[in-house]
A and B are shown apart, each in its own frame.
Chain A
Amino acid sequence: MVELSNEKMVDMFKTMLKIRHFELRVKELVLKGSIRGGVHLYLGEEAVATGVCACLKKDDYITSTHRGHGHCIAKGGDISRMMAEILGKETGYCKGKGGSMHIADIDIGILGANGIVGGGLPISVGAAFSCKKRKTHQVVVSFFGDGASNQGSFHESLNMASVWKLPVVYVCENNQYAVSTHVSKSTSVKDVSIRASSYGIEGRSVDGNDVLTVYNTAKELIDIARQGKGPSLLECKTYRWEGHYVGDPMAYRCKEDVDKQKSENDPIVRFEGYMVNQKIVPASEIEQIKKETIDLVDKAEKFAHESKVLPVEKVTEDIFA
């Protein structure tokens, strides 16, 4: 176990809350009709992005997924610019040209969310190769889901990263569902981490709703990568609270299962309970943190609403450098 300062734990708690309230607000805005594109929410999976990114430095890289808001926030993304992007405004991260599935901030190492399942894995090989070649001691984390673990790009990327001993940690967020298909119907192994043995690399499966376990395991694997000892595969078992997208009728699973997860396995409630029990932070302060988080999300929404849409004359800009 890595000793974590109280301050660091409170920071992680704030990040989880920020993701939670950002996503709740996005959902609300989709249902109100303020957001036009498809949105995939990270609700229920907050501990994964938070625990992993808490181990990273500002200049470390991540590749993200279509369900990428949580990764972006945990890596230090600005929620005002994220909200503006999701609302399609020119102040957004991508000037409204990318939307929810393409948020990126190269300056803080976010090499982009990705609309293609498994699309980020090969890119992470290149980023890690670049870190190794330039001898920068940076590390890459590639987030992907249980669905992507069945793509060919998963195999090619983990094999090549292993052969080249690259500083990359592959983080599989197993949220049980690839759109409507349960992992038991799509994936040949019970634990995705078993597949690590095919590539001669370290593989671990952990409770992805326990942020401290995620942090401790990720820290160990990221340190190994940073020391030049090669890649690894970390599976974080979690649960997708929402449908594949906001508006998914979810005919493929029953409401009771979802409600049970929400009431018994909420990563934020679990971490909050731990911190109060361990007297890391008093309950009163937690209420204050929640209030401040909602204020931040309010500000982000206000910023997004007040921002303008990019003039149409600029639609064909930014194709080439």
Chain B
Amino acid sequence: MAEKTFAEALREAIKEEFLRDENVVLFGEDVGIHGGAFGVTRGLWDEFGGKQLFDTPLSEVAIAGTAVGAAMTGLRPIAEMMYLDFITIAMDQVVNQAAKIRYMFGGKAKLPLVIRTPCGGGRGNAAQHSQSLEAWFVHVPGLKVVMPSTPYDAKGLLKTAIRDDNPVIFIEHKLLYGTIRQDIPSEEYLIPFGKGDIKREGKDVTLVATSLMVHKALKAADELLKHGINVEIIDPRTLFPLDKDIIINSVKKTGRLVVVHEAPVRAGIGAEIVAMVTGEAFEYLDSPPRRVGGLHCPIPYELELEKEVIPDEEDIINAVKSL
């Protein structure tokens, strides 16, 4: 057991998988000596540089395409997109190629690739470096979407993603990299896709939260307990495949549902979860489900403006109290 940050946990996963399988490679912009824009690959260059770790030109289309072509021909690539926002440049390769090739070819290709990419606001990076676009990828058949909230989950899920034979979009919130520490077991472990985790047990309200919002939900839950409301917090961890059972079982217990994510409320993953619960567990609901998410607004630059757009503990508390 050793205490690790989210970035350190990811680095450990990458290093262990590099050592396990020489066909695992990681490439992207400034991932070499520089260690990536958020330091995830820092320190790996000396041992793996030029062998399994590669700096690319600033070319998102070619980075994503390289992952597709390499995955089809025997490697297990991890492509780093410096910011999730930049994946928009590479959408053909992600959506038209990676996601569809196996199906279009009648099941004859395997695409064991991971695209790791940082999401989210809170750093004054403004509208083109702060988005949470996870719902886009959940909407595309052929992609798996992972969004961990803790160092332990990040490590176990990244190792699973690397070993998965399908394209995985692995989304890491920037504010998680250095802020959260957690004990990580020294022995190897994997976390399966499609298995959510109860981050806090409760009986009154089911609060489904993703990524950084799990931590905001935990703080909100402490406050709500003072008002006599005992919240259960569920982190789906993977948005596709989605662990429906863990959510529905919780709603059956609590009768109330709030979903919180940083992305705008409109057509976010919360809409999918609420629709799923109302479709499959309507009779258990004691009040209409609520969604908490970003305003339908680009992420602004200035601190107070940015705070206004991104949901916080108070928004969560108000939503729970309004049930």
What residues make up the interface of A, taking CB atoms closer than 8 Å to B?
A: 61, 63, 92-98, 102, 104-106, 111-112, 114-116, 119, 121-131, 133-134, 140, 152-153, 156-157, 159-160, 163-164, 317-321
Contacts and interface: CB of A to CB of B under 8 A. Distances in A.
B68 A122 contact: yes
B69 interface: yes
B66 A153 contact: no
Given A61-B73, A153-B92, A318-B107, A123 B65 contact: yes
A312 to B, nearest CB: 15
Given A126-B70, A130-B75, A134-B75, A317 B107 contact: yes
Interface of B: 23, 25, 54, 56-57, 59-62, 64-75, 77, 92-93, 96-97, 101-112, 141-142, 144, 165-166
B73 A156 contact: no
B75 A125 contact: no
A164 B109 CA distance: 25
A106 B72 contact: yes
Contacts of A112: 101, 104-105, 109
Contacts of B57: 156, 159-160, 163
Contacts of B97: 114, 116, 119, 123
A111 B106 contact: no
B106 A123 contact: no
Given A126-B73, A128-B69, A157-B62, 13 more contacts: A94-B106, A104-B105, A112-B104, A122-B61, A123-B65, A133-B70, A134-B74, A153-B65, A163-B57, A319-B102, A319-B142, A321-B102, A321-B165
Contacts of B166: 320-321
Given A160-B57, A320-B142, A127 B107 contact: no
A124 B142 CA distance: 21
Nearest to B101: A112
The 4 residue pairs across chains A and B that have the minimum distance between CB atoms = A122-B65, A126-B69, A318-B107, A94-B106
B102 A320 contact: yes
A160 B66 contact: yes
Given A102-B105, A320-B166, A129 B72 contact: no
Given A111-B72, A160-B66, A318 B103 contact: yes
Given A160-B56, A160-B57, A320-B166, A125 B103 contact: no
A195 to B, nearest CB: 16
A320 B69 CA distance: 17
A24 B59 CA distance: 40
16 contacts: A61-B73, A97-B106, A98-B106, A111-B72, A112-B104, A116-B96, A122-B93, A126-B65, A130-B75, A131-B73, A153-B92, A160-B56, A163-B57, A318-B106, A320-B102, A320-B165
